Amino acid sequence: MTEGLPNWIELLFLTTCLGTIGFFYYSNGKPKKLTLLIILWSVVHSVLAYNGFYQNTESIPPRFGLILIPAVFFIVFGLLPKQQKWFLKERNTKISTFLHIVRLPVEIVLFELFVHKMVPELMTFAGRNFDISMGITAPIIGYLFMANKISKKGLLVWNVIGLILVLYILTNGILSAELPFQQFGFEQPNRGINYFPFVLLPAMIVPIVIWTHLSDIIKLNKEIKTTPQHSV
């Protein structure tokens, strides 16, 4: 755990991590092996962060690459034709829409980390982070979609907006971290992600959110092209 932080912040974040894995599991046909892989991946980076591995920000190459590079690989791999056949068949779009609720507690945690000088203000909803809007609207959009009050085209647009927002704040987060190419937040760098449990934000939550958006966009787009849709 991180010294100086109230316990509730870390407990809220850990609960959010469990919620993310749960939503992933149930929205993708309960893939046991893949879910266990995600848990193992999370445990490995949690142990590394807990033991201070990522707090060494001066190593070359940057140790944080052990999170970013594999995460990008897993996202791309998860969108290949074979994997597309799987999620096109197994994906429950209604549940995957509710997955984005986790972005609301994430924003609360990020704001508290800013207050405790562990991330720059730009990483919060008080700065450049508009991702909280997805956490707030996810249950609303999810309910409307379940009640057939919003079309697949409307849900597709919402997913595209959500993808843009998460990629935007991810870019800002990387560029404000203590890395060789840091561009922002020099007075208060994005160092919270180097600590357990917050390392799981870039290591697990964000990749799942991005992949869920991309895969839902692919699925919805295919369904829209093959099925006549009513207006939103």
Question: pTM for this one?
Answer: 0.93
| pLDDT digits 0-9 by tens, 90-99 | 999 999 999 9
Tokens of 18: 């469990």
DSSP H or E stretch at residue 82: helix 81-90
Give the up-direction half-sphere exposure of residue 153: CA atoms within 13 A in the CB hemisphere: 9
**DSSP state, 202?**
I
- Judge whether 231 lies within some domain: no
Q: What is the pLDDT of residue 231?
A: 45
Chain-wide mean pLDDT for the chain? 91
Convert 68-99 to b/e letters by CB count within 10 Å (16 or more is b): beebeebbeebeeeeeeeebeeebebebbbbb
- Judge whether 182 lies within some domain: yes
Count the domains in the chain: 1
| pLDDT digits 0-9 by tens, 42-89 | 999 999 999 999 988 888 888 888 999 999 999 999 999 999 999 999
- Judge whether 2 lies within some domain: no
Convert 50-66 to b/e letters by CB count within 10 Å (16 or more is b): eeebbeebeeeebbbeb
Convert 172-195 to b/e letters by CB count within 10 Å (16 or more is b): bbbebbbbeeeebbeebbbbbbbb
- The CA-atom distances, in angstroms, between 122 and each of 7, 48, 174, 196 are 24, 27, 12, 21
Helix axes 32-50, 65-77, angle to 10 degrees: 170
Q: Residue 64 CA to chain centroid, in angstroms?
A: 17
- Judge whether 71 lies within some domain: yes
- Judge whether 1 lies within some domain: no
- Judge whether 88 lies within some domain: yes
| pLDDT digits 0-9 by tens, 151-166 | 999 999 999 999 999 9
Taking residue 123's Cβ as centre, other Cβ atoms within 10 Å add up to: 28
- Give the range of the structural domain holding residue 101, as residue numbers without chain letter: 7-226
| pLDDT digits 0-9 by tens, 164-192 | 999 999 988 888 877 766 676 677 788 89
Give the up-direction half-sphere exposure of residue 104: CA atoms within 13 A in the CB hemisphere: 12
Separation CA 203–CA 61 (nearest Å): 18
Tokens of 122: 């730009």
